[in-house]
Chains A and B, each alone.
Chain A
Amino acid sequence: MTSKKQLLFAYGLAIHLLLVAIICYAAFPVTAPAEPVRIMYQTTAGKVLFDHATHAGATGYSLSCFDCHHHPMGDQNAMTSCSECHPAAVEEGEQPLTCLNCHNGKDIRDTPILSRTDALHKGCTDCHAEFEKGPVMDANSCSRCHVI
């Protein structure tokens, strides 16, 4: 049996902690920073963790932003998600509407555009092959990125 004092303590605990919890959740939500730290891709082939901060950071591999964010080269506008221009699924000869933000449709009509998965696969592994470090596109390396 518990005493009245213990009961009141439990009620007090429940109410005060609930208030603190609401404040924490409302005022300090975990939001993604403008420049990602890590990105977890949940794909049908398992999850892929891409450590953005380590790839770009001075304490990591010190790559240039433009090694990956390639279009337009040397322009801060390039720092967007790859899927802005490489959509999840692309039809042959079609291009995403975002191109028209900067281009006249006629000028770029002949440019083939990779799907998001192809762009990431090629973008990631071409560079790894160039540095001879990190996972490349061969049958033994899939599981170095993909975790089932």
Chain B
Amino acid sequence: MNPKKTLLVSHAPFWHDGGGIPERSYHTLLAALPAACAGIAFYGAPALGVICLSISTAILWELLMNRIMRRPITVGDGNAALVGLLLAMLLPASAPWWVVVLGTFLAIVIGMQIFGGIGGNPFNPVVLGTAILSVAYGRHLDFDAGLVNFTFTAFASSTDPISALKAFGPEAVSHLRYLDLFLGKQVGGIGSTCGAAIVLGGIYLIFRGFIRWEISIAFLASVYLSAALFNMADPTRFAPPLFHLVTGYTLIGAFFLATENSSSPVNLFPMLIYGALGGVLTVLIRNIGAYTDGVLFAILVINLTNPLVDKIRPRAIGKAA
């Protein structure tokens, strides 16, 4: 006599890593923490405030939705906390409290709960929330406008490199050293600038099997290749490929955003196509699009293609046609 519940199948993701959702969430949280700490170390209390507010309101929004929709309380699985942390890492340290609260509302409620909670979301909730914020309240997500009261004497430039590139061309950012940018010496989001810490967390997640290297590597390789093509075509208008890898949301996008389980594919070819498409779109938007950083919109678009590319799968053995 089995209890009825064991026969129920829940939403995607269906890929078994030997652990449960809580394990995945808390390990991802842990992996993201070094990059977030780099932001706190640099921006101090304001950054800590944004991160704490974001995590806690994300949990509270999910709890509220669970209650309203009379569904089992899911905040224990840690996914809401993870969404909160990642969202905070994309915001400037100057984000006002209501932007943070609105952001977690958009991510948790609009991005996830109305689709039935974890596993049902067609878009990465963090990306959806941040993208809506950046379209609706661009000034508060604009690093140059938001961070005017911070001094950046440790950095080679006191403006956001990716915005400077957009506004003034590659000449204006040619004095920046890639290693410095990779080590986080640049203006940007609380947890999105320190590439070294992000890559470290990403590698940890890949080795533990929580994210798939295929997506991250395909994303980064395709950012590199498409930026290289642009750069070869006209180096006076388009920045070198390495610059695109170490600025903006590229690295956090490759390791923490594009790899979100329920909005990304699971088979080898689909994963490669998905990641590569994201990279190409990122560079297209950055180089010839209207927005300064393409990562958010690129990821939303590849989230859309996910059900489609996921149809490319091995044929079942013994099945004709």
Which B41-93 residues have C-beta < 8 A from chain A?
44-46, 48-50, 52-53, 55-57, 59-60, 63, 72-78, 80-81, 93
Q: Verify A37–B46 contact, CB threshold 8 A.
A: no
Q: Which residues of B contact A49 (CB under 8 A)?
A: 144-145, 148, 159
Q: Which residues of B contact A17 (CB under 8 A)?
A: 52-53, 55-56
Q: Verify B149–A10 contact, CB threshold 8 A.
A: no
CB within 8 A of B158: which of A7, A18, A54? A54
Q: Verify A6–B56 contact, CB threshold 8 A.
A: no
In the complex, which of the residues B46, B60, B148 has the most CB atoms of chain A within 10 Å of its own CB atom?
B148
Asked if B97 CB lies within 8 Å of chain A CBs, one says yes
Chain A proximity of B157: nearest CB distance (Å): 10
CB within 8 A of A10: which of B48, B78, B145, B158? B78
Binds B, one of A26-34, A65-73, A93-101, A120-128: A26-34
| B290 and chain A: residue at smallest CB distance | A148
Q: Verify A25–B49 contact, CB threshold 8 A.
A: yes
Q: Which residues of A contact B291 (CB under 8 A)?
A: none
Q: Verify A13–B167 contact, CB threshold 8 A.
A: no
Known: A6-B77, A9-B76. A40 touches B144 (CB 8 A): yes
Q: Which residues of B contact A54 (CB under 8 A)?
A: 158
Chain B proximity of A100: nearest CB distance (Å): 32
Asked if B137 CB lies within 8 Å of chain A CBs, one says no
Give the complex CA separation of A51 and B159 in angstroms. Answer: 10
CB within 8 A of B56: which of A14, A28, A51? A14
B interface SS class: helix
Q: Which residues of A contact B94 (CB under 8 A)?
A: 30
Q: Verify A25–B53 contact, CB threshold 8 A.
A: yes
Asked if B151 CB lies within 8 Å of chain A CBs, one says yes
In the complex, which of the residues A11, A21, A59 has the most CB atoms of chain B within 10 Å of its own CB atom?
A21
Q: How many residues of B contact A (CB 8 A)?
A: 42
Asked if A2 CB lies within 8 Å of chain B CBs, one says yes
Q: Verify B56–A18 contact, CB threshold 8 A.
A: yes
Asked if B22 CB lies within 8 Å of chain A CBs, one says yes
Known: A38-B158, A54-B158. A6 touches B149 (CB 8 A): no
Asked if B150 CB lies within 8 Å of chain A CBs, one says yes
Which A107-148 residues have C-beta < 8 A from chain B?
143-144, 147
Q: Verify B76–A14 contact, CB threshold 8 A.
A: no
| B94 and chain A: residue at smallest CB distance | A30
Q: Verify A20–B48 contact, CB threshold 8 A.
A: yes
| A4 and chain B: residue at smallest CB distance | B76
| A18 and chain B: residue at smallest CB distance | B56
Q: Verify A13–B59 contact, CB threshold 8 A.
A: yes
Q: Which residues of A contact B77 (CB under 8 A)?
A: 2, 6
Q: Which residues of A contact B11 (CB under 8 A)?
A: none
Chain A proximity of B151: nearest CB distance (Å): 5
Give me 24 A-to-B residue pairs in the complex whose CB atoms sit less than 8 angstroms apart, sorted by A's number: A2-B22, A7-B75, A10-B59, A10-B76, A11-B75, A13-B59, A18-B52, A18-B53, A18-B56, A20-B48, A20-B49, A21-B49, A22-B53, A23-B49, A24-B45, A25-B97, A28-B49, A32-B149, A38-B149, A40-B144, A42-B139, A49-B145, A49-B159, A143-B168
Q: Shortest 10 CB-CB distances between A and B: which pairs?
A: A24-B49, A2-B76, A21-B53, A28-B45, A6-B76, A7-B76, A21-B52, A14-B59, A17-B56, A17-B52
Q: Which of B's residues lie within 8 Å of A, judged by CB?
A: 21-22, 44-46, 48-50, 52-53, 55-57, 59-60, 63, 72-78, 80-81, 93-94, 97, 139, 142, 144-145, 148-151, 153, 158-159, 163, 167-168
Task: Known A-B contacts: A32-B149, A37-B151. Give 9 more (CB < 8 A).
Answer: A2-B22, A7-B75, A10-B78, A10-B80, A14-B55, A20-B49, A30-B46, A36-B148, A40-B144
